[in-house]
Chain A
Amino acid sequence: MIHPTAIIEKGAQIADDAEIGPHCHVGPRVSIGAGTVLLSGVSIRGRTTVGRKNVFHPYCVIGGDPQDLKYRGEDSETVIGDGNTFRECVTVNKGTDVGGGRTAIGDHCMIMACAHVAHDSIIEDSCIIANATLLGGHVTVEKHAIVSGQVCVSHFCTIGQHAFIGGASALNQDAPPFMISRDVPSKVVGVNTVGLRRRGFPLETINALRECNRILWRSGDPKPEAMARVEQEFGAVPEVQVLLGALRASDQGRLGRAREASRTTPVAPDPEADLME
């Protein structure tokens, strides 16, 4: 069902039962899966693949150009899975060559009004990103993470699986999995017990993670010793291994951000350098 005022460019592939509402604009290299709904005034551009049963609320712009000075018009893409909801005025930018050329969103995510998913970001399944939250470029949000409203996430940060980020926080380092992080800049303040219980994690796992929180962030012990103690005492718990793996990866990246390790950007030439010599 395509509203007569919608503009569907030649080449766009739209499943038979997708609904395209009034004043929507679908570009020539966009494919839209079965059961997906574009309510009104939605704009989907670029090389963008949208899966099944997604809902786009009015004035979303998906697959727009990256807000990045490195972007030179390359043919990068945006991939969106199934069953996601994009609320009013959400923007998702496509990737850049330098960042891998791909912005990807998994399945069953809710991206709330006015949030921004920047170039080369990856959002895994069942995440919630609340209003006006800003994910800088190259950000990863792992499965089941919840990012509250008005959060600013610096580029190359990773938000671990089942993490919860409190409202109005600013992340400039990775947020560890299973933990609640909040504040400006963000700090770990506890275990996401509510989220873990809702998703059926056994009490023993939650208690082990609580102990890990105590050892890693409350004891005041130096990080390497604390991590060794966690490994020794709770290493048998798979979730603890996930936590330790994430912390090691953050340490291996620069600035406490695992994805900094994959950063290939050459040092930016200083445009004023020759004026100085």
Chain B
Amino acid sequence: MSIHPTAVVSPRAKIAPDTEVGPFCVVGPDVEIGPGCVLRSRVTLSGRVRTGARNVFHPTVVIGGPPQDEQPAAPDARIEIGDDNVFHESFTAHQPKVPGSPTRIGSSGRFEQGSHVPHDARIGNGVVLGKLVLLAGHVVVDDYVRLGAYTVVHQFVTIGRYVLIGRHSAISEDAPPFLRYVGQSNTPVGVRVEELARQGFPPATVAAIQEAYRTVWESGLPRHEAVRGLESSAVPEVREMARVLRSSLQGRMGRAREALRRG
């Protein structure tokens, strides 16, 4: 373990033997850092934070601040981070305010400069947040989602796996998996055909997803009816799209997780 002499590390912090803590870092007493992590310099980890292995924290990353909300953090608030993530400069992640569940970041993610994981968010594996991407509270981002630079996500939104949202977009309704979004209209512009092929989805599955996309957004059918058609599909990926669409239709303002809103 190498801890730079200018770093301020609580003696109660649990730091794996081969972790590097660079100059001017601050590590609080309830922080647990897994093996092979690197805190480059001026990284602050405070509150209850547990990270897995081999995460890299670039300068001025701050993880573990209280929620940006009028309500305080939950008494048992904690942040859990998986393995192999890279957090770039000025990345921030905040404690949850709902008791009993952590703010969670999966593994193998890339979080670019100034991007933000808010209170009560759940981020899956292999997620990329571009520069200054802003997620609002309670957001769920499923595996392999890519959010382009300067994208804003409304609170309580759910983003399905493999969704790509182009730079400078804003999204305020749940986004079903496998789709591509650009702009501020909450309407997808297509299916991530190439990416799904690269990830090994069989061509028949990709074709079924494309057909489902056309049924919902290009056929002119009422949304309820279109989703009903998808629900009886033989392709599990299409039924997955239908599940997100159905729960988003049942939620308020197109967001299933609105049901969690208190007060």
Interface residues of A (CB under 8 A from B): 3, 5, 21-23, 39-41, 57-59, 87-89, 110, 112-114, 130-132, 148-150, 167-168, 183-184
Contacts and interface: CB of A to CB of B under 8 A. Distances in A.
Contacts of A110: 68
A183 B185 CA distance: 11
A87 B68 contact: yes
Q: Which 10 A-B pairs have the closest CB atoms?
A: A168-B170, A88-B62, A22-B8, A149-B134, A58-B44, A167-B152, A40-B26, A168-B152, A89-B90, A113-B92
A59 B60 contact: yes
A233 B21 CA distance: 67
B171 to A, nearest CB: 10
Contacts of A87: 65, 68, 92
Contacts of B168: 168
Interface of B: 6, 8, 24, 26, 42, 44, 46, 60, 62, 65, 68, 90, 92, 114, 116, 132, 134, 136, 150, 152, 154, 168-170, 184
A132 B134 contact: yes
B92 A167 contact: no
Given A87-B68, A113-B92, A131-B134, A150 B62 contact: no
A57 B90 contact: no
Given A57-B62, A149-B152, A89 B92 contact: yes
A174 B169 CA distance: 23
A194 B24 CA distance: 43
Contacts of A131: 68, 116, 134
12 contacts: A22-B24, A41-B26, A58-B62, A59-B44, A89-B92, A113-B90, A114-B90, A132-B114, A132-B134, A149-B152, A150-B170, A183-B184
A219 B220 CA distance: 31
A44 B25 CA distance: 19
A152 to B, nearest CB: 10
B26 A150 contact: no
A3 B8 contact: yes
A58 B26 contact: yes
Contacts of B92: 87-89, 113-114
A41 B44 contact: yes
A37 to B, nearest CB: 12
B152 A150 contact: yes
B8 A41 contact: no
A41 B60 contact: yes
B42 A23 contact: yes
Given A23-B42, A41-B26, A168-B168, A150 B150 contact: yes
